[in-house]
Amino acid sequence: MFLNHQADYAGMRAEFGWEGRVPATLNLAREVCERWAGDSERLALIYEHADRSVERYTYAELNEYASRFANVLRDRGQTRGDRLSVLLSQHPETTLTHIAAWKLGMISGPTSVLFGTDALTYRLNHSRARVLVTDSDNLPKVRAIRADCPHLEHVFLIDDAAHDADNFWRVLEHASPVCPAVDTAADDPAWISYTSGTTGAPKGALQPHRLLLGMLPSLEFVWDAFPRAGDVTWSPADWSWMGGFAGVMLPSLWHGLTTVGTALGGFDPENAYRILAEYGVTCTLLVPTMLKLMRQVPNPRARYPLKLRVVKSGAEAVGAELLEWAARELGAQVNEVFGQTECMEPLGNNARVMPVKPGSIGRPLPGHTCAIVDDAGRELPDGEVGHIAVKAPHPVMFLGYLDRPDATRDKYVGDWLLTGDTGLRDADGYFWFKGRADDVITSAGYRIGPTEIEDALMRHPAVQNVAVIGVPDPVRTEVIKAFVVLAAGHTGDEALVAELQDFVRSRLARHEVPRLIEFMDALPMTTTHKIMRRELREREKQRS
């Protein structure tokens, strides 16, 4: 462990520093797999198939299979610095493919199976991937674009073989089971994560081998003295997303723990309870949308014997009501965390060691320095809204955007990495998220973040989910509009519109009351269950 978990928040920050902690040489394959492989009984992965049959993999098996595939890749001409894409969900092959790539010093690329052909083509071509590992369900997409992907040389299927793709497991049979990881520098790239910006094509964030090391103190803090004996991790967050990949699966492997993977076709709250209980999960990542859906399941504690002790949450605001419900019904504390692809988890909460202010994204975690800055990188006084920024350098920060030195430069102002989010810091040092830089609503001279309004509306019993944006207005620049998904048994009419407006008015300032409310069946969501406000804004532009 990095932190003294007997100390309070101030003590943890005072006692921890990064000096001398990042070695010059570091390879993730060695850290998350090879060093545990000598224990033939240590369980690395539990995988539940769609039919609920289960496979288990020890670290020794994981290392052997990864070594075999690394030797296959080497035999196919792959070498240090070459790129490989993994078009899979929470499969065991996802994990061992990344490890195999890192053993050779290759750069892997987690890729969501939800991508269509355009998104997949862009990522394969931009990353110049020479190898793709996928399954037969996704092969039609690959075939449709393969002629447009000149770098792609080899396709491996984990569940089949075809004239234009090799069977993953069959090629492993004749490969050597020994392939020690090469020495890589801590700053060498390990994988590429694509992150969508507000304009232009997605950017490929190059992530170094040291990133996981840089993240561990934050995870220890937010997952409350992680790891503890017997900890088991699982999250519905897919392993193609940084939250599930670098925020759940890899840290668990780093500590030699067991991670659960499941063949989920989408998030089902009842099934989530079953998985948490059946596999004795103690630490998880559940975004607020998932928690809200789980809250609708009746009597969960009576039906599911949970061992859950802590939930990491983020991406959207976690309000007081969700915190109280989780403590009561999940028997676990929910600790909110803030971060992004380029800089994982610099801010967060832990209710055991510090007071939690519901709605706040917490305070700077041990080893991080954070501030609110203006466009020039000058620190702003407490209470003023500006850019949420993190002091660079830090081991958890990305190396830069692939082939985008301009975008990499724009990510920094002086020594500060700009998260792209706006917020403020209060007098007690807590940070409050106000919105994405492009989500801030400017109305009648006020700068208004949507999160606070959404949190207020979520407290109304008629509201199941909500998103708030600014829509153009000739007088006020923008007016506030709320898109509301109703809970079962409620009808969207003018009376409810007035009721919701009064509900917000009684809790927030008058200028934060939505002038417009539209009822919807569902909100547009990303694959990681974040609300896509930009899509709602675009829809409003088209209407006007």
Amino acid symbol at 530? K
Given this chain, do its domains 27-48+57-209 and 435-543 carry the same CATH topology? Answer: no
Distance, in Å, from the CA atom of 514 to the CA atom of 495, rounded to the nearest integer, reads 15
Residue-wise pLDDT for 34-49, tens only, equals 999 999 999 999 999 9
480 and 467 Cβ atoms separated by less than 8 Å: no
SS3 321: helix
> What CATH number does domain 27-48+57-209 carry, 1.10.3720.10, 3.40.50.12780, 3.90.580.10, 3.40.50.1820?
3.40.50.12780
Residue-wise pLDDT for 253-289, tens only, equals 999 999 999 998 788 999 999 999 999 999 999 988 8
Distance, in Å, from the CA atom of 88 to the CA atom of 70, rounded to the nearest integer, reads 18
- Quickly tell me which residue has 């003294």 as its tokens: 4
Helical H runs in 295-442? 300-303, 320-325, 405-410
Residue-wise pLDDT for 415-457, tens only, equals 999 998 899 999 999 999 886 676 778 776 566 778 778 988 9
Q: How does DSSP classify residue 413? A: E
Which of these ranges, 25-29, 45-49, 329-333, 345-349, has the smallest mean pLDDT?
A: 329-333
The CATH class, in words, for 1-17+211-367 is: alpha beta
Number of H-type helices and E-type strands within the chain: 18, 27
What is the pLDDT, as a whole number, of residue 269?
94
Distance, in Å, from the CA atom of 273 to the CA atom of 286, rounded to the nearest integer, reads 12
Distance, in Å, from the CA atom of 233 to the CA atom of 249, rounded to the nearest integer, reads 7
Q: Which CATH superfamily is domain 435-543 in?
A: ANL, C-terminal domain (3.30.300.30)
Q: Where are the domains of the chain?
A: 1-17+211-367, 27-48+57-209, 435-543
Residue-wise pLDDT for 45-81, tens only, equals 999 999 999 999 999 999 999 999 999 999 999 999 9
Count Cβ atoms below 10 Å from residue 161 Cβ, excluding itself: 15
Residue-wise pLDDT for 319-335, tens only, equals 888 899 999 999 999 99
pLDDT at 200 over 70: no
Averaged pLDDT for residues 303-311: 96
Per the prediction, the chain carries an average pLDDT of 93
The CA distances from residue 464 to 321, 371, 532, in Å, are 13, 34, 16
Residue-wise pLDDT for 175-192, tens only, equals 999 999 999 999 999 999
- pTM for the predicted model, two decimal places: 0.84
pLDDT at 506 over 90: no
